[in-house]
Amino acid sequence: MSQFCYYKGVYKVKVLTKSEGYFIIEALEDLQDFFDHKKVIVKAGERSIVLPTDLRPKKTLPAQMPAAQA
């Protein structure tokens, strides 16, 4: 498969394979993720299993938080 995408629209990753509705990716740069409500750092070169909905074809900005109303 070996295509390049952006994990959550921010971190560049390489898609290695698709398996049972998940993608196995290799991080091309250090990225932050959450597992069991804990922050996890995935180092460049490490592999991870992610949902296809977390991958984007190009880099995007994260969603903006709505302004607090007084």
For the chain (70 residues), the mean pLDDT of every run of 10, in chain order, is 83 90 92 87 91 86 65
Sequence-distant (6+) residues with CB within 8 A of 4 are 12, 13, 14, 15, 28
Token pair, residue 19, equals 């398996």
Q: What is the pLDDT of residue 60?
A: 79
Strand partners, 39: 34
